[in-house]
Amino acid sequence: MDTEALSERVMERNGRYRKELEDWYRSWLVDGYAERAAKLWKRDYSSVDAYERSVGPNRERWRGILNPPDLVVSGPLEVEPLGWQGCPQASFVRLPLGERLRAEGILAVPESKGPVPLIVTQHGIDSPPEYVFGMLDPEGAYNSYARILVEAGFAVLAPMNLCTKPLRNRVSRLARLANISLPGIELVRMQRLLDVVLKDPKIASDRVGFWGLSLGGMAAQFWGPLEPRFKAIISAGWFNDRLRKMVIPDPRYGCFLDSQEEYVFLPGWLTEFSESDAISLICPRPFMSQTGKADNISWFPYVVEEFADVKRHYDRLGIADRCVLDLHEGGHETCIDTGIAWLRKWV
């Protein structure tokens, strides 16, 4: 056999093995999920308290997947007024965490006679926190929702996360080596900022909500189970049939397996935490998904099916009004009116 023919045979064999591996992993992740999850979730719907106790072991396993480190504040909050005409209350804030890390973001607190609720507004991929206020990208997907929240009487904290795909991919490689996820570090950075910000007497420390778009929607669903101070959570442009979204290519939506977004592959995620199962750790707190029918991040009929499984937990606890799918005709964006009305009701 000549060298060229042998090389072709080797490549064919390697391609066949790759397909065998993909088929094996898909079978385990997707086809085997229901049986696996049935053994790992033992929910008790007899009362809200009983329910929360029954999902406690799952919550701790989710914490183990994010594996957030213990970051300690090592200095005072630095506040730099930004001088924006459109949002004069906005300041950039920095909080040192040890010698090498800082928690950073944008804080805006409206003038008010009494303490106001605070909404954490999380930006998405390829977007800095300025975008949520409509700065740099006033016509973009965020619809200036943070600025509008401030105008509506809410304080806003917009944490800065690592926001480009290549940089998140690079740092996620280090995170896997350290067994400390990037979302876990970013959760703690946000929490340490929140600890300090909520000491401000102008902010109602018991009235905190979360609203994130895209990667910020991921943060909503990743962090919500582990941050009980969020009284209500909105995830925009992220909720999905997670099993399909991660590993099953389909022309009707973008599959992450076919993307260059390596950072989204969190080890252990799909062992027991499909979208509906993960969000059952937010229940009984109010949860809203904002999903655009024209958003190719998902195929909306699959979203409707998956959300019905989320809603089932709230229904069985008699709190159906706390769980809403805001299915709109738009694309990858926030919906201002429904989001603010939801937060007014629950925060």
The predicted structure's pLDDT at residue 95: 98
Residues 6+ apart with CB under 8 A from 153: 110, 112, 116
Q: Rounded mean pLDDT of the chain?
A: 97
Cα-trace Rg, the chain? 21
Tokens at residue 318, please?
């008699």
User: CA geometry: angle at 205 spanning 199 and 207, to 5°?
Assistant: 155
Residues 3 and 45: their CA atoms lie apart, in Å, by 66
Predicted confidence (pLDDT) at residue 1 exceeds the cutoff of 80: no
Whether the bond between 284 and the residue before it is cis, its omega within 30 degrees of 0, is yes
**Phi/psi of residue 265, each to 5°?**
-90, 95
How confident is the model over 211-225, as pLDDT tens digits?
Answer: 999 999 999 999 999
How confident is the model over 297-312, as pLDDT tens digits?
Answer: 999 999 999 999 999 9
How much is the average pLDDT of 48-66?
Answer: 98
The predicted structure's pLDDT at residue 4: 87
Question: Helix/strand/coil (H, E, C) string of the chain?
Answer: CCHHHHHHHHHHHHHHHHHHHHHHHHHHHHHCHHHHHHHHCCCCCCCHHHHHHHCHHHHHHHHHHHCCCCCCECCCCEEEECCCCCCCCEEEEEEEECCCEEEEEEEECCCCCCCEEEEEEECCCCCCHHHHHCCCCCCCCCCCHHHHHHHCCCEEEEECCCCCHHHHHHHHHHHHHHCCCHHHHHHHHHHHHHHHHCCCCCEEEEEEEEEEECHHHHHHHHHHHHCCCEEEEEEECCCCCHHHHHHCCECCECCHHHCCCHHHCCCCHHHCCCHHHHHCCCCCCCEEEEEECCCCCCCHHHHHHHHHHHHHHHHHCCCHHHEEEEEECCCCCCCHHHHHHHHHHHC
The predicted structure's pLDDT at residue 164: 96
Task: Give residue limits of the domains in the chain.
Answer: 1-31, 43-346
Query: Percent of the chain, pLDDT > 70?
Result: 100
The predicted structure's pLDDT at residue 311: 98
Tokens at residue 239, please?
């909720």
329 pLDDT band, cuts 50/70/90, is very high
How confident is the model over 155-210, as pLDDT tens digits?
Answer: 999 999 999 999 999 999 999 999 999 999 999 999 999 999 999 999 999 999 99
Q: How many C-beta atoms surround the C-beta of residue 6 within 10 A?
A: 10
Least confident of 1-10, 84-93, 101-110, 256-265: 1-10
Q: How many C-beta atoms surround the C-beta of residue 40 within 10 A?
A: 13
Tokens at residue 172, please?
């996620």
Predicted confidence (pLDDT) at residue 270 exceeds the cutoff of 90: yes
How confident is the model over 133-157, as pLDDT tens digits?
Answer: 999 888 899 999 999 999 999 999 9
How confident is the model over 85-127, as pLDDT tens digits?
Answer: 989 999 999 999 999 999 999 999 999 988 999 999 999 999 9
Predicted confidence (pLDDT) at residue 29 exceeds the cutoff of 90: yes
Residues 158 and 338: their CA atoms lie apart, in Å, by 20
The predicted structure's pLDDT at residue 228: 98
Q: Which CATH number fits domain 43-346: 3.40.50.1820, 1.10.10.10, 3.40.366.10, 3.40.50.2300?
A: 3.40.50.1820
230 pLDDT band, cuts 50/70/90, is very high
The predicted structure's pLDDT at residue 137: 85
Contact 223, 188 (CB under 8 A): no
